[in-house]
Amino acid sequence: MTQALSSIAQERGISYFLISFTDLFGVQRSKLVPAQSIDTMSANGAGFAGFAAWLDMTPADPDILAIPDSNSLFQLPWQPDVAWMPADLYGVDGNPIAQTPRLVLKKVLAQAEEQGYQVCTGVECEYFLLNADGSDLSDGRDRQSKPCYDQQALMRRYDVIREICDGMLTLGWGPYQNDHEDANGQFEMNWTFDTALVTADRQAFFKYMVKSIAEKHGLRATFMPKPFQHLTGNGCHMHLSVWDRDRATNLFLEAEGELGLSSMAYHFIGGVLKSGTALCAFTNPTINSYRRINAPVTTSGATWSPNTLSYSGNNRTHTIRIPEAGRFELRLADGSANPYLLPAAVIAAGLDGLEHKQDPGPRRDNNAYTDPLPAGTVEALPNSLFEALARLENNPILPERMGQDFVASYLKLQRQAWNDFSRQITSWELETTLDC
């Protein structure tokens, strides 16, 4: 029998619960519920006006109900009298809201489970620490052209990094390393992989935790893909493997296979590459995302982001890297990727690859930055969100597996964002064309 949340609250000293959902643009929406009311809210859901979030709804639509998942409860390490729970959205009629990112992921994972698969993922979340108003980096001494792994810059932010890592330790995530990344003021923190839904919930909470602890220290954290033109952008590299139903056997692992991967793993990779340009609508979902991929060289000497749909061994210049036996790393996604839609889209593409035994083509071992392949050898990545959305619209695979209604809503809202961006008159335009 599941323990009542009010009882858990009493045992752990929890006074309030954040019932939270993530909308289509990755914005977290919440209601703060006192512990004495949490059992009712847990059973019946917290009411929201759907139009108030990015869900493709109107003011005339009925309320939506956020049903929290009590199996994914995170007591805030920096404020332990509050607990956070991700929620799934339903209509007052009891039907699921198709445009709920967490439900889209569950839908795709159910397809994997029907075939006897359990998908595991891990993410590497990069972020910048800025000053309080977000106008510049928080550390004026962090100026090296190659600052990656810089010990001094890392330890100058020890208080922030330690508090975040201590939080993950308290939550039992198994964090195992923290480092200063390739850009000045940029950091990455890694924790142990798990099933895709568990990782997605943790990623959503991680972004909230990092921002909150940074604010506590008088700083601002951002996962924006490319906040500085001359610096490496924020990636969100995802590692993926497929296991059997009981998670006893890694089906991607084959000792005699090329680079330790099974034929099944290569079919999955083939599916990801086949839908790769359409995937960009989810892996790189903002206007700013396309400042990071296909970008010119940064001050460090490399962008560390891909520019072609290709896979390789332990080579970080391609979209997919195979760092060791039994898994692959997708290097395409950035920090703005929705924690639920990112794995949902990649898994949907991979499952199609499994179903059709998709051939990924030959492995590419060139340095894609300095030794590009001849034109037409591999497919290029989209140059803009507009192009990625067009590729998604013409892709039959992702809508079928993620949901036609969901994809239609996603395309509609993203095109509205693109049109809003396109109406802006930038300072660059004024500077270069005002005297025409």
- pLDDT at residue 338 in the model: 98
Q: Which of 275, 291, 120 is nearest to 193 (CA)?
A: 120
**C-alpha count within 13 angstroms, C-beta hemisphere, residue 14:** 27
Q: Which two tokens stand for residue 259?
A: 């680079």
The whole-number average pLDDT for the span 108-120 is 98
The whole-number average pLDDT for the span 154-177 is 98
The whole-number average pLDDT for the span 317-340 is 98
Crossing angle of helices 196-216/341-355, nearest 10°?
160
Q: What percent of the chain has pLDDT over 90?
A: 98
Selected from 3.90.550.10, 3.40.1670.10, 3.30.70.100, 3.30.590.10, the CATH number assigned to the domain covering 107-421 reads 3.30.590.10
Q: Rounded to 5 degrees, what are φ and ψ at 416?
A: -60, -40
- The gap from C-alpha 220 to its chain's centroid, in whole angstroms, comes to 19
DSSP label at residue 220:
E
Which pLDDT tens digit goes with each residue over 279-305? 999 999 999 999 999 899 999 999 999
Gyration radius (Cα) of the chain, Å = 22
pTM (global) more than 0.95: yes
Which pLDDT tens digit goes with each residue over 47-96? 999 999 999 999 999 999 999 999 999 999 999 999 999 999 999 999 99
The whole-number average pLDDT for the span 155-164 is 98
The whole-number average pLDDT for the span 255-272 is 98
Instruction: Name the band, by pLDDT with cuts 50, 70 and 90, for residue 326.
Output: very high
Alpha carbon distance 341, 357 (integer Å): 24
Alpha carbon distance 357, 2 (integer Å): 42
Its sign, for the CA torsion 251, 254, 259, 262, is negative
- For residues 57 and 51, is the Cβ–Cβ distance under 8 A? yes
Which pLDDT tens digit goes with each residue over 115-130? 999 999 999 999 999 9
- pLDDT at residue 2 in the model: 79
Question: What CATH number has the domain spanning 9-97?
Answer: 3.10.20.70
- For residues 126 and 234, is the Cβ–Cβ distance under 8 A? yes
Q: According to CATH, where is 3.30.590.10 located in the chain?
A: 107-421
Mean per-residue pLDDT of the chain: 97
- pLDDT at residue 1 in the model: 62
Which pLDDT tens digit goes with each residue over 373-387? 998 999 999 999 999
Residue 79 burial (10 A CB sphere; 0-12, 13-18, 19+): middle
Measured at the alpha carbon of residue 240, what is the angle toward residues 160 and 324, in degrees to the nearest 5?
90
- For residues 321 and 312, is the Cβ–Cβ distance under 8 A? yes
Q: According to CATH, where is 3.10.20.70 located in the chain?
A: 9-97
End-to-end CA distance of the chain: 74
Alpha carbon distance 31, 16 (integer Å): 10
- pLDDT at residue 38 in the model: 98
Q: Which of 100-104, 165-169, 271-275, 291-295 has the lowest mean pLDDT?
A: 291-295
